[in-house]
């Protein structure tokens, strides 16, 4: 019996050791999912603080409780920064970032450096799965040659699959297990093993014909959202100029039982997927001589929204006979979406930067982020101010940027001098509310 045949048996009886590389918003929930299904899990991360916390039974992601971590650790979950432990794993699942560089081109350094660090420890009979969002061809053009440089043949000695992550942090309606999982294999044998792997922990697995199809699937999902959000953001600007409440329009349109899906405007795009993924495809498409004008236009609209919000702040301050220079503005919510502590690509940060550049004295309030975290592009020495009536009343303008459920919106309306509302949380008929 070949080593890959042996791996089939291990996956079937859940005796396989699952290595999860990257213990962030994708890798940590996936680790808990495999652990909960009875698999032995080893988690890997370059940041030594994450393994230390996990091994103590502590979580560092708000929507994942310490209790869930302790249950997994008791069941045998280990976390480490020692990548030589990859040799102890039957499966290695890569869940590392795929950002853009300064030229808005794909930055695969995390994926490629992680793969290179694993190469010395790869074994016959292992399965490698990439979950990081990327352009079509990455698995075959980048990972496969690196793996085969070790002498291992993909499809015969070792299996290689691509299965895009579909995590939605903080969404109570879906879990890692209940979100269907798309899987593409480098070969038919790889696909069979990849399907078997995820069927052990996911309710519905969707096999596709190739890794390139799986890679393109993830991009289409997020481009679909980016384009439609771009459309509704543009509609918001038009409706505002016409004195129409765009949220009332969307809610009315959503009563149509077919042919319409409601998307809601905001201060810009945030998160690890929607602001980034479309540009992975536009970059790859240029190699085929294709200009993805529709995608790039949506990107332009969405990228312009923070500046639109800042213009609204200027208008709101002017209504109070104040200028931007020297005014004090409070931004409510700096996470990229409500009820999470995830800052990745948050438009709130760009709003803060543009306000500061305009001479505004900035502050923020976010119950999930008491201290402004370190970021690659931005640097603010700020701490979250209290959320209470005196604090709200002390600012010249309050901007609702992230609509956390913990915020008391009646309190905001009653005690703020003027409010710029980017999320449609307050009735725009109120005198001191400026929809943005």
What values do phi and psi take at 364, rounded to 5?
-140, 160
Positions annotated as catalytic residues are 273
Q: Cα separation of 245 and 16, whole Å?
A: 55
CB 396 within 8 Å of CB 327? yes
Residue indicated by tokens 């940041």 = 47
- No. of helices (H) and no. of strands (E), the chain: 16, 13
Q: Is 190 exposed, middle or buried (0-12, 13-18, 19+ CB in 10 A)?
A: buried
Q: What number of other Cβ atoms are within 10 A of residue 297's Cβ?
A: 14
Q: Cα separation of 425 and 296, whole Å?
A: 29
Beta pairing partners, 129:
93, 161
Q: Cα separation of 335 and 57, whole Å?
A: 25
Give the C-alpha distances (Å, rounded to integers) separating 160 from 93, 185, 374: 10, 6, 35
Q: Cα separation of 103 and 137, whole Å?
A: 21
Give the residue among 283, 275, 280, 277 at the shortest CA–CA distance from 301: 275
Measured torsion, CA atoms of residues 51, 55, 56, 60, in degrees rounded to the nearest 10 = 40
Q: Cα separation of 182 and 378, whole Å?
A: 35
């Amino acid at each position: 019996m070949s080593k890959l045949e042996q791996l089939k048996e291990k996956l079937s009886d859940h005796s396989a050791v699952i290595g999860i590389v990257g213990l962030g918003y994708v890798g940590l929930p996936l680790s808990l999912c495999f652990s909960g299904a009875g698999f032995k899990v080893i988690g890997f991360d370059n940041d030594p603080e994450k393994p230390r916390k996990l091994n103590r039974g502590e979580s560092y992601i708000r929507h994942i409780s310490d209790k869930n971590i302790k249950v997994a650790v008791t069941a045998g979950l280990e976390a480490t920064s020692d990548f030589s432990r990859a040799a102890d794993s039957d499966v290695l699942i890569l869940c590392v970032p795929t950002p853009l560089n300064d030229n808005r081109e794909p930055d695969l350094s995390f994926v490629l450096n992680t793969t290179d660090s694993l190469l010395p420890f790869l074994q016959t009979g292992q399965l490698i799965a990439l979950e990081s969002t990327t352009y079509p061809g990455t698995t075959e053009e980048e990972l496969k040659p690196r793996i085969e440089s070790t002498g291992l043949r993909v499809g015969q000695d070792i299996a290689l699959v691509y299965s895009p992550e579909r995590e939605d942090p903080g969404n109570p309606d879906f879990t890692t297990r209940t979100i269907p999982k798309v899987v593409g294999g480098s070969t038919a044998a790889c696909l069979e093993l990849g399907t078997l792997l995820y069927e052990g922990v996911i309710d519905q697995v969707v096999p596709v014909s190739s890794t390139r199809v799986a890679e393109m699937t993830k991009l289409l999902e997020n481009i679909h959202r980016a384009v439609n959000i771009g459309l509704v953001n543009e509609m918001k600007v038009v409706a505002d100029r016409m004195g129409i409440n765009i949220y009332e329009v969307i809610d009315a349109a959503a009563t149509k039982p077919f042919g319409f899906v409601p998307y809601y405007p905001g201060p810009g795009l945030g998160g690890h997927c929607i602001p980034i993924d479309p540009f992975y495809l536009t970059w790859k498409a240029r190699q085929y001589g294709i200009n993805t004008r529709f995608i790039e236009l949506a990107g332009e609209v969405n990228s312009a929204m923070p500046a639109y919000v800042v213009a609204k702040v200027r208008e709101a301050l002017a209504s109070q006979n104040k200028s931007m220079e020297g005014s004090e503005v409070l931004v409510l919510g700096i996470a990229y979406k409500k009820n999470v502590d995830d800052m990745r690509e948050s438009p709130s940060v760009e709003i803060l930067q543009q306000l500061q550049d305009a001479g505004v004295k900035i502050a923020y309030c976010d119950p999930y982020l008491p201290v402004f975290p370190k970021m690659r592009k931005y640097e603010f020495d700020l701490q979250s101010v209290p959320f209470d009536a005196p604090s709200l009343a002390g600012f010249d303008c309050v901007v609702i940027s992230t609509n956390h459920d913990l915020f008391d919106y009646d309190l905001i309306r009653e005690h703020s001098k003027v409010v710029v509302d980017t999320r449609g949380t307050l009735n725009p008929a109120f005198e001191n509310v400026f929809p943005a």
